[in-house]
Structure 1
Amino acid sequence: MKKLFLTLAPFLLLSCKNTDADDAAPIMGCFSDEVIEEVRQVEGHVEIVGNTYVIETESRRYYPCDFPSTLTIQGKQVVFDASLFAIPPHFRLVGQPIRITRIY
């Protein structure tokens, strides 16, 4: 019994480690709650990166969390307004996460 305890003790101690706010994974759909910017009348086109639809502009790639299924056509030109969200620490996304507020 003593050998079993000594064997398991390091694992038990590691599992009790406190996590800092930076270490904890945020609870979210595909973006954080922190809006960093509002953009208006952005022109771009729909592309597929991996298995994900994104909107590409001349200088940026946007990852819409609420992409309407009617616009999931590669190459389709779009103009939109959106809220940009912060990318959580230690995350790597295909584009800047956004919530589309209006499509023209």
Structure 2
Amino acid sequence: MPGRPRQTDGNGTACGGPPAPGQAYRSALASAQGIELKTYRLELEGDIDLRGFLGVEPTIRPGLQQVRVRLHVDAPDTPREQLDELISLVESRSPIRDTLVSPVDVITTLA
């Protein structure tokens, strides 16, 4: 989107603008669970075999073989079990995660 900031300050507030929808959603869920999120940060990693992407090996998928998400959370006085429950809740309602783990129809048309 034009004019949308590309970075956040680490606690759900987009630099120069309002929080992105996913950040606002995570913060709202945490608040509803009685969790004070001071800061959080996501690290994403993925594995890709370029032989599939380049078409060198037709038996290898061209996409990512695995995606790993690591959360860095600063939530004082919140037990690990409560944070694990929050993560499960966010995962169960995340449209991006759902799209990645569930088959979805993709329709391509030529305009």
Query: TM-score, normalized by length of structure 1?
Result: 0.23
Higher helix share: 2
Larger radius of gyration: 1
